[in-house]
Structure 1
Amino acid sequence: MSIRHLDALFAPASVAVFGASQRPSSVGATVWRNLHRNFPGRLYPVNPKHAALDGVKVYANVADLPEAPDLAVICTPATTVVPLIQALGERGTRAAIVVTAGLDKATRQAMLDAAKVHTLRILGPNCIGLLVPHLGLNASFAHIGALPGDLAFVSQSGALVTAMLDWAGSRGIGFSNFVSLGERADVDFGDMLDYLGSDPKTRAILLYIESVDESHKFMSAARAAARNKPVIVVKAGRSAAGQAAAASHTGALAGSDAVFDAAIARAGMLRVDTLHDLFLAAETLSRFRDGPSGPLIVLTNGGGAGVMAADAAAAEGVPLAVLDDALRARLDAVLPANWSHANPVDIIGDAPAERYVAALEALSHDTANAVLFIHAPTAIVPSSEIAQAMLPQVTAAPRRVLGCWLGDGAVAQARQTFRQAGVPDYNTPEEAVRAFNFLRTYRLHQEELLETPPARSAAHAPDLPAIRTIVSAVLADGRELLTEPEAKALLGAAGLPVVPTRVVGASADAAQAAADALGYPVVVKILSHAISHKSDVGGVRLNIGSASELREVCTSMLVRVRELRPDADVQGFTVQPMVRKKHAHELIIGASVDPVFGPVILFGAGGTAVEVLADRALSLPPLNTPLALAQIQRTRIAKLLKGYRDEPAADIDAIAQVLVSVSQLLADVPELAELDINPLLVNHEGAVALDARVRVSASQPAGAANFAIRPYPAELIETWDWQGQSVTLRPIRPEDEPQHRAFLEKLDPEDIRLRVFYSRRSIEHSELARLTQIDYAREMAFIATRHIEGDGEETLGTVRATVDPDNHTAEFGVIVRSDLKGSGLGHRLMDKMIEHLRARGTQRLVGTVLRINRGMLELAHHLGFQESHNPIDPDDYHTRFVSLDLQTDT
């Protein structure tokens, strides 16, 4: 994960075009023309067949160039790419766009190997290129340029790039950056998200994705970027088939596209279906991101438009606010007697500008609800006058109003007034409501983003030795599928509620003895290593009420199973009590391993018709209770679980605990490949697993190390006795933001200036979010805290290190509260970080320290750091560079 040298790609001072020419319709000619028209920097065409192009000197090769270009654009045949990358890297170029297509696997790898030596970054191959409109940089062979703006668009499809440029240009939509990734040999979606997430000229990031290769990298970058600005995704492939050969319902239901949806939600991003919706969502989230997302109030001058909005809200699941008596009274005071007296609020078509203002003022007392303002032009008053009159209210903080001016020419000026004032604007009521629903979904995803649970729940400890014994025995037996008794024993050891089960031989006498001991009625199931879905072969019989009935069932079941599955070796039967729960629901909870995003958890409506109902929601582990509850709420059956009429609400907390336990099981048992608990029977009294299937694999596809989202590293928490007080040293958490702000506010300005972390005392929420909501794989921050009686916890100091993609070098910064300097706290924090980085195999720890910061330099020397000049700028007198080899024997 790195944005190393991407500044050379996006903001080059000089560009060389290899293969530049004037040959009509050639890629080299198009790229040269696009750059030559607008690029203000130094431009070097390279082609041994030409002496000059458009009055510019042409160079024969890399060696002839007067300088190492910041950026090289390669439009030459595939056989020339590797030598060019080698020569450019040796010359000092740090970024290249490889437009060339047709590189085979070996050539592509040779290109990457040549670039890696010099940390030269490559966009492509087989890409259109990139555009940075505000710099006049069009390093692409697109047929049209891009308007400057503040949206970044990154596409995996080259054809879509050119179509999107055409479409956006005709609508006046501008971009900060426009990127075609091509084959993503080096620069990929993760790199783009990292770079654009911190780009001040980009207010929203739009992605067109066809596939994701490195899920850990993608999720880490996506979660970091989504904390700072909206990230909106269109992904092709919603109809991708599931895993048809899976042994469990979960494996069959958890298709890769549904898993991608779960990943998008957990990363705090928003997925939309169409390119039009991509810009619709960008308009809403970038202009109305902090606006309310509760029930909607529709304010309109036309009853029909209001009805259209209400219908759209019902279709999208957007609730309309109910007007209380106080609000109706305020509206009665300013509206004519024949107003609608309900939501939508119809203020009648003859309304003058003053009525609009008064109605909006009446609605402004309720700050929890957003207002969708819909206006149809009339002859009473020009729409532009209405827009101007409403401007102070619609631009007031916090933002609460979305605009919808119906029509074209008659409302053009009004629409422009709203847009220039930063008010999101839509062409139709349906479009406006759909956009508002995007905001609601986005808010839910942002809430999930803030959750960083540990891999293991503190609620209960599973019996790991018992679980390991079961898994090891199954694999030693040459099997992957656990029998039902083995599966239930595993779940029981994991702390999940399971129904008691007896295992007997393949005889009616043995089954009867077990049933007599358990008590009737009972359930009998066939037991065979070869049969996973027992009901498919008549291998399940419920509610057996007597010994005679049981004996008849066992005899006929053996005959039927042997007819349908003569290949299956039948070990016997399982017998369990018939569980009858009043007001019960049949649910399914399961787990499988996605080939891209790793372990995934499923919840939904269960029973034998689970595939037909297709009511399920997926999530990525690790889960905690809030995330589990959010997953439950994404299903249709969640409405039934809340209770209705005389049906009591189900024990939702019990369901959530099962989900959290499954998440913990995935973390603790790397061999777990598939899991089905179906049905999980739930009512108001609790939950119990009636049946379970488990498949394990020696390849260990699960385990916390394979989670797409790194769990909170709770194992790194420790306490330390400091000056007679108990101090906790732990990784930072998102919920630490308020106390981290308080910590920074207690620092002396001089201490802030001396540290590399912060340059100012006042820090924006987005920056605090970046500091507290970290990815524990590529960045680590430890804080030292102590408990304050009656006032919670306070932060005393923090140390942070960011690791490069190769886990070779980490850069650190450390800061201690100003009144605690010299107390040994900084030394202990640095020891903690050094110990952590050594354990993860990082080779070197480095830092840049101001020369006048003698305290930090002395601490570095005491810890064994070597001091030198700044390697990036040896002439920099004001800073010193310190480094520590972490893996050398001492």
Structure 2
Amino acid sequence: MTIRNLQHLFQPRSIAVIGASARPHSVGATVYANVLEGGFNGTIFAVNPKYDTLAGRPVHRDIDSLPQAPDLAVICTPAATVPGLVARLGARGTRAVIVLSAGLDAPGPDGTSLRQAALDAARPHLLRILGPNCLGLLVPGIGLNASFAPSGALPGRLAFVSQSGALVTTVLDWAHARGIGFSTFVSLGDGSDVDAGDVLDYLAGDPGTDAILLYVEGVRQARKFMSAARSAARAKPTLIVKAGRHAEAAHAAFSHTGALAGADLVVDAALRRAGMLRVLTTEELFDAVAVLARPRPLHGPRLAIVTNGGGAGVMATDALVAGGGTLAPLSAATIAALSAVLPATWSHGNPVDIIGDAPPERYRDALAVLQAAPEVDAILLLHAPTAIVPSAAIASHVLPLLRSAARPVLTAWLGGDSVAPARRLCLEAGLPVFDTPEAAVQGFLQLVQYRRNQELLMQVPAPLAGAAADRAAARAIVAGLLARGCLKVGEADGKALLAAYGIPAARTAVAATMEEALAAAAAIGYPVAVKLLSPDITHKSDVGGVVLDVEDAAALRAALADIGRRVARARPDARIDGYTVQQMVHRPGAVELIVGSTTDPVFGPVVLFGQGGVAVEVMADQAVALPPLNRVLAADLVSRTRVAKLLAGYRDRPAADLDALCDALVRIGQMAADLPELAELDVNPLLADSRGVIALDARLRLAPVAAGTDPLDRLAILPYPDALESTVAWDGASLVIRPIRPEDGPAHQAFFAALSAEDIHFRLFAQVRELSPAQLARFTQIDYAREMAFIASRVDAAGRAETVGVARVVGDPDNVTGEFAVTIRSDIKGRGLGRLLMTHLIDYCRARGLAELVGTVLPDNVRMLALGQALGFQATRQDDVVLLRLRL
């Protein structure tokens, strides 16, 4: 389940407290008091056979004696009673329950855990359970405090969702002291039914929520969580604190990749891919709340600092540079404008030190100049108290200007009681307020990182170079290896797999004997590299099993003899299967990299990139990403490593061919997604320079997949579904109908440009001349787990693929209803393409299990209305639109 019946949880019209009590400090007494005192204007029931009245209100003996089924029930009774209460509430018609009780892992009378018994009791009624073992729920906007939190929450537009009840109470206290309000406060507890993904889906569509903050300790259903997170992050700022950064288990991995791709790196990659912002500490969490609760759009990373003390400005600058931020370079025009309103002794640069004796007018004038400066993206106001002007007077003077600021303005009032009134004034005005320069800079850097994550969702990648992957050949290689029982695969077969995906690799041959090695070297051509081939030795160089630059046959004989002696001393127990003979690649100045894939137990396949070579684990310079990748995502993966600076070129070293490197990473991601048996892949080193990339070594580990297993189940993000591609004859030509891809961005922009103003109005209900980057990304970078867009593509006279039509559907999180739209290029309408695409879409939706398709059409869109009627849609007039509905 996802958001089914969650409206009864978050917007109930009536509530029952099961186990309401008068016993001081009990959960039942606290919850009932909170419900009564919260100001909830719906119907409130109390249920407990021990009382006739509580707080002057009647108490019902049991659920059956309630005059009506409550929308929401809060269970405060012992764990053993929960399954029966859930069953009874479901039968009465209640559709949402909050279970505060702990201890539901204990077995019930039939041996099933109480938790599972409660879920089984809820399922026939589609009743949703929040908890168990949770603190409860607060929805301040409707006065709902269905929790045993020690205090309520102020109404606002920030949602907070937590797997930790203790953190809920901490944030409540902190936010109340700072005047920060919330739309929703949710304690998930054990999340047996309603989990973080469900709540994200609900809050993404909640008009009362502007930003979402999550605290999670673990993710169980990666695909569901990622789909919900991507949907929420596209709609509104979404922050997450993921606890347990150092909880990953140390284990012996077959490859460097498996050892380096720690669990927390994978979590970080997943959250980045979802467009969320991760914060790491409680302090950062509070800073993030302060910024997100009062959002202003951030258009770039350049920060201007205004201060009345040079020391504070230096501290802020140090924190900004250390955090990878950018100090706004003030233009000559901005410096001249500041010089006109500041004394001659001002700093004449950024930070803008306006001198300690600054009166309120000087603050206002400096801030006004910086707000008008195009090179400034955000402003930080630092103030240290002085005896000359009260801090509150300064705050009062600048607030009218700052309230109307179009860019983020952060404030840090340094000190204690003397600056408290200024802090309060800024909080009341909706400005982020911090206690130290470092905390303020951290808040700004969080905004910058969030913006970068969002930009990744809006980039349109270029298509890959080279031939498409030969998936059939790759699957044949894997099948052959499995048939031979070969699970730990050496470089020769590993390079064959790379070749199937178009990744350049050095020519390699396997030789069982010295004579075969000599023959292989002659075929490849000297000089060669020769390496030991042993299933028992992971890192060949550690035992002297590698010899480079072998110039001729005599040198090869000597090298093999030396390898044999060294291995006999170091590992006399090791099995020796022979040798690999490899083309000796001379790429002076090339950077040694590691690329590969491994499998995370929660998020499935991940792609790793970093600095390679024999010291790869010592350098520990790596980043990971979830497949599938495109060039934009691959470039971001590279940018998150230190070795990226070497790849950019330096002194007389030209930059590496980053397009070739990104293409290789994309293809590694394809391999990881395509081959469910691929448990680990290690390409180390992959050489990269201005000529491109080439793999010198490749090893992999396979793991058989159980029969009947869906190979896509292990993927957190569904890859492009190429099985849905088809070629049809239309209008005397060949037409490809296929799912849309991010790389279709330019063709989709051209398609939109070819639409008439009337067709754009029919599609968007507005007049738009061209798609913005965000709109283009939203149309082309879709989540195939939630939506589908089929495009009709043909080759134009210049040999380029052009989009001539698109039909799309966005399913609800419950996979019940899909909202559709279809658009045909204006100059080819009336030739049956709309019917062709819609038939394709309807067949897909039926196969996916959707119950119905709905679409909103303007009454004067007669072509679409006629097409809907021909396809069996029912038309209903609603206000100024027509609703088309088709039961599937």
TM-score, normalised to structure 1's length? 0.88
- The residue aligned with 1:130 is 137
Which whole-Å CA distance do the structure 1 matches of 2:3 and 2:492 have between them?
A: 51
Given that residues 741 and 768 in structure 1 are in contact (C-alpha distance below 8 angstroms), is that contact kept between their aligned partners in structure 2?
A: no
Do 2:157 and 2:181's aligned partners in 1 also have CA atoms closer than 8 Å?
Answer: yes
Q: Which moved more, 1:707-716 or 1:851-860?
A: 851-860
Quote the Cα distance in structure 1 between the aligned partners of 2:863 and 2:632.
Answer: 44
CA deviation profile, 1:712-761 (whole Å, cap 9, x unmatched): 44664668777789988665677569987997974698x78xxxxx8888
Cα distance between partner residues in 2 of 1:440 and 1:544: 52
SS in 1 for 2:596: strand
Q: Within 1, Cα distance between the matches of 2:760 and 2:418?
A: 58
Q: Note if 1:533 corresponds to 2:545.
A: no
Residue 289 to residue 246, structure 1, CA distance change in 2 (3 Å): farther
Q: Of residues 571, 574, 580 in structure 1, which corresponds to 2:580?
A: 574
Corresponding residue number in structure 2 for 1:426: 434
- Inter-partner Cα distance in structure 2 for 1:784 and 1:329: 56
Structure 2 residue aligned with 1:175: 182
- Does the aligned pair in 1 maintain the 2:298–2:451 contact within 8 Å? no
- Which of the numbers 609, 633, 649 marks the counterpart of 1:603? 609
In terms of mean alpha carbon deviation, does 259-268 or 541-550 score higher? 541-550
User: 1:623 and 1:796, CA in 2 relative to 1: closer, same or farther beyond 3 A?
Assistant: closer
Residue 322 of structure 1 corresponds to: 329
Aligned to 1:63: 64
Ranges in structure 1 where 5+ consecutive residues have no aligned partner = 753-757, 871-875, 886-890
Cα deviation for residue 422 of structure 1 reads 3.6
How many residues get paired? Answer: 868
Which residue does the alignment assign to 2:650?
A: 644
Query: Kindly tell me: are residues 221 and 529 of structure 1, through their superposed partners in 2, closer, same or farther at Cα, counting changes over 3 Å?
Result: same
Q: Which residue among 113, 117, 128 is the counterpart of 1:121?
A: 128
| 2:282 alignment counterpart | 275
Instruction: Give the share of equivalent positions with the same residue, in percent.
Output: 53
Of 684-693 and 844-853, more deviation after overlay is shown by: 844-853
> Which stretch shifts more, 428-437 or 672-681?
428-437
Structure 2 gaps, min length 5:
106-111
Alpha-carbon distance, 1:254 to partner: 0.9
Deviation at 1:69, TM superposition (A): 0.6
2:440, 2:805 → 1: CA distance?
Answer: 47
Pairwise CA distance, 1:389: 4.2
CA contact (8 A) 2:822 2:838 kept: no
Contact 2:755 / 2:825 at 8 angstroms: preserved in 1?
no
Output aligned runs, 1:11-22, within 5 Å. Answer: 11-22=11-22
Q: Structure 1 residue aligned with 2:631, among 613, 618, 625?
A: 625
1:463 aligns with 2:466: no
Equivalent position of 2:695 in the other structure: 689
Q: How does 1:180-579 map to 2 (within 5 A)?
A: 180-242=187-249, 244-363=251-370, 364-391=372-399, 393-396=401-404, 398-450=406-458, 459-507=466-514, 509-515=515-521, 518-545=524-551, 547-579=553-585
Q: Which position in structure 2 is the counterpart of 1:800?
A: 809
User: Quick one: distance in 2 between partners of 1:848 and 1:328?
Assistant: 55
Using the alignment, how far apart are the partners of 1:743 and 1:89 within structure 2?
51
Please give the secondary structure, in 2, of the residue aligned with 1:226. helix
Residue deviations 1:378-400 (CA, integer Å, cap 9, x gap): 34444444444444543445315
Cα gap change, 1:733 to 1:16, in 2 (>3 Å) = farther
* CA distance 1:741–1:278, change in 2 (3 Å): farther
The 8 Å contact of residues 525 and 534 in structure 1, kept in 2 or not, is answered as: yes
- Counterpart mapping for 1:54-133 below 5 A: 54-104=55-105, 106-133=113-140
Letter in 2 for 1:635: T
Q: Return the alpha-carbon distance in structure 1 between the equivalents of residues 791 and 296 of structure 2.
A: 31
Q: Is the 8 A contact 1:367 1:400 kept in 2?
A: no
CA distance in 2, matches of 1:408, 1:744: 62
Q: Which secondary structure state, in structure 2, belongs to the residue aligned with residue 404 of structure 1?
A: strand
Deviates more, 1:192-201 or 1:698-707: 698-707
The 8 Å contact of residues 272 and 278 in structure 1, kept in 2 or not, is answered as yes
The equivalent of 2:685 in structure 1 is 679
Give the Å deviation of 1:122. Answer: 0.8
Superposed CA deviations along residues 320-353 of structure 1, whole A, max 9, x for unmatched, are: 2334444434434443332223322222223333
- Asked if the contact 2:458/2:778 (under 8 Å) is kept, the reply is no
Instruction: Measure how far apart 1:432 and its partner are.
Output: 1.6
**Partner residue in 2 for 1:660:** 666
In structure 2, C-alpha distance between the alignment counterparts of 1:721 and 1:210, rounded to whole Å: 53
Change (3 A) 1:862 1:157: same
Counterpart CA distance in 1 for 2:315 and 2:166 is: 36
Q: What does 1:662-811 correspond to in 2, within 5 Å?
A: 662-699=668-705, 706-713=714-721, 716=724, 731=739, 746=758, 774-782=782-790, 798-803=807-812, 805=814, 807=815, 809-811=816-818
Q: What is the TM-score of this pair, normalised by structure 2?
A: 0.88
What is the identity, as a one-letter code, of the residue corresponding to 1:441? Q
Equivalent pair of 1:228/1:766 in contact (CA under 8 Å): no
Change (3 A) 1:793 1:390: farther
State the distance in 2 between where 1:740 and 1:609 align: 51
Give the superposition deviation at 1:450: 3.1
Q: Secondary structure at the match of 2:381?
A: strand
2:838 — aligned with what? 830
SS in 1 for 2:701: strand
Q: 1:423 to 1:666 in 2, by over 3 A?
A: same
Paired with 1:852 and 1:636, the residues of 2 have a C-alpha distance of: 58
Aligned match of 2:852: 845
* Distance (whole Å) between structure 1 residues aligned to residue 90 and residue 775 of structure 2: 35
DSSP-derived class of the 2:683 partner: strand
Closer/same/farther in 2, CA of residues 724 and 387 from structure 1, 3 Å limit = farther
Q: Report what 2:29 is aligned to.
A: 29
Secondary structure at the counterpart of residue 327 of structure 2 = coil
509-518 vs 317-326, which moves further: 509-518
Is the contact made by 1:230 and 1:282 (CA closer than 8 Å) also made in structure 2?
Answer: no
**Most deviating of 811-820 and 705-714:** 811-820
Indicate if the aligned counterparts of 1:666 and 1:703 stay in contact, CA closer than 8 A. Answer: no
Q: Is the 8 A contact 1:590 1:602 kept in 2?
A: yes
CA distance in 1, matches of 2:314, 2:859: 69
Which whole-Å deviations, capped at 9, do the CAs of 1:352-373 have from their partners, x for residues lacking one? 3343344334432324543322
The 3 A distance-change label for structure 1 pair 868 and 399 is: closer
Deviation at 1:547, TM superposition (A): 4.8
| C-alpha distance in structure 1 between counterparts of 2:516 and 2:685, whole Å | 26
CA RMSD of aligned residues (A): 3.8
Contact 1:669 1:702 in 2 (8 A): no
Does the 8 Å CA contact 1:788/1:794 hold for their aligned counterparts? no
Look up the SS of the partner of 2:700 in the other structure.
strand
Shift of 1:309: 1.3
Greater mean alpha carbon deviation, residues 217-226 or residues 317-326: 317-326
Deviation at 1:181, TM superposition (A): 0.7
CA drift at 1:213? 0.4
After superposition, the Cα gap between the structure-2 partners of 1:538 and 1:485, relative to the gap in structure 1 and judged at 3 Å, is: same
Report the CA distance between 1:300 and its aligned residue.
1.9
1:531 positional shift: 2.9
How much does 1:165 deviate?
Answer: 2.7
SS in 2 for 1:497: coil
Given residue 43 of structure 2, which amino acid in structure 1 is its aligned partner?
R
C-alpha contact (below 8 Å) 1:155/1:208 kept by paired residues: yes
1:427, distance to aligned residue in structure 2 (A): 2.0
